[in-house]
Amino acid sequence: MAVGLKAPGKLHPVRGIRLSATHGGIKQNSELKDLVLIEAAAGSNVAAVFTRNRFCAAPVTVARRHLAKIPASRYLLINSGNANAGTGELGIDDALGSCAAVADVANVKLEAVLPFSTGVIAAPLPRQKIIDAVPSLYASLAVDNWLPAAEGIMTTDTLPKAFSSQLVIGENTVSITGISKGSGMIRPDMATMLSYVATDALIETDELQSILRRVVASSFNSITVDGDTSTNDACVLIATGASGQRISIENDEFITALAQVFEQLAQAIIRDAEGATKFIEIEVLQAPDAADAREVADCIAHSPLVKTALFASDPNWGRILAAIGRARVDQLDIETVDLYLGDTCLLRQGLPDPAYTEAMGQAAMDGEEIQIRVNLNLGDAGARIWTSDLSYEYVRINAEYRS
CB of 264 to its own copies, least distance (A): 26
CB of 380 to its own copies, least distance (A): 21
Q: How many residues does the chain have?
A: 403
20 by DSSP, 3-state: which?
strand
| CA 311 to centroid of chain Cα atoms | 23
Are 299 and 385 spatial neighbours (Cβ–Cβ below 8 Å)?
A: no
Instruction: Please choose, from the candidates 265, 289, 185, the residue with its C-alpha nearest in 3D space to the C-alpha of residue 233.
Output: 185
87 by DSSP, 3-state: which?
coil
Looking from the CA of 44 toward its CB, the CA atoms found within 13 Å total: 27
CB of 205 to its own copies, least distance (A): 29
Are 363 and 244 spatial neighbours (Cβ–Cβ below 8 Å)?
A: no
In angstroms, rounded to a whole number, what is the distance separating the alpha carbons of residues 109 and 102?
9
99 by DSSP, 3-state: which?
helix
CB of 224 to its own copies, least distance (A): 11
Q: Which residues bind its own copies (CB under 8 A)?
A: 52-56, 85-86, 88, 120-122, 184, 186, 188-189, 226-231, 302-305, 308-309, 311-312, 314, 316-319, 321-327, 329, 332-334, 350-352, 390-392, 394-396, 398-403
* Full DSSP string of 163-190: EEEEEEETTEEEEEEEEEE-SSSSBTTB
Per residue, what are the HEC states of 249-281? CCCHHHHHHHHHHHHHHHHHHHHCCCCCCCEEE
Closest to its own copies by CB, 26 vs 201, is 26
Closest to its own copies by CB, 86 vs 97, is 86
Closest to its own copies by CB, 170 vs 304, is 304
Distances (CA, A) of 232 to 20, 94, 206, 282, 361: 21, 15, 23, 26, 39
Distances (CA, A) of 281 to 214, 335, 383: 20, 24, 10
In angstroms, rounded to a whole number, what is the distance separating the alpha carbons of residues 268 and 398?
20
Which residues sit opposite 387 in a β-bridge? 224, 280
192 is annotated as an active-site residue: yes
CB of 48 to its own copies, least distance (A): 19
| Catalytic option among 87, 155, 192, 277 | 192
Q: Residues with catalytic annotation?
A: 192
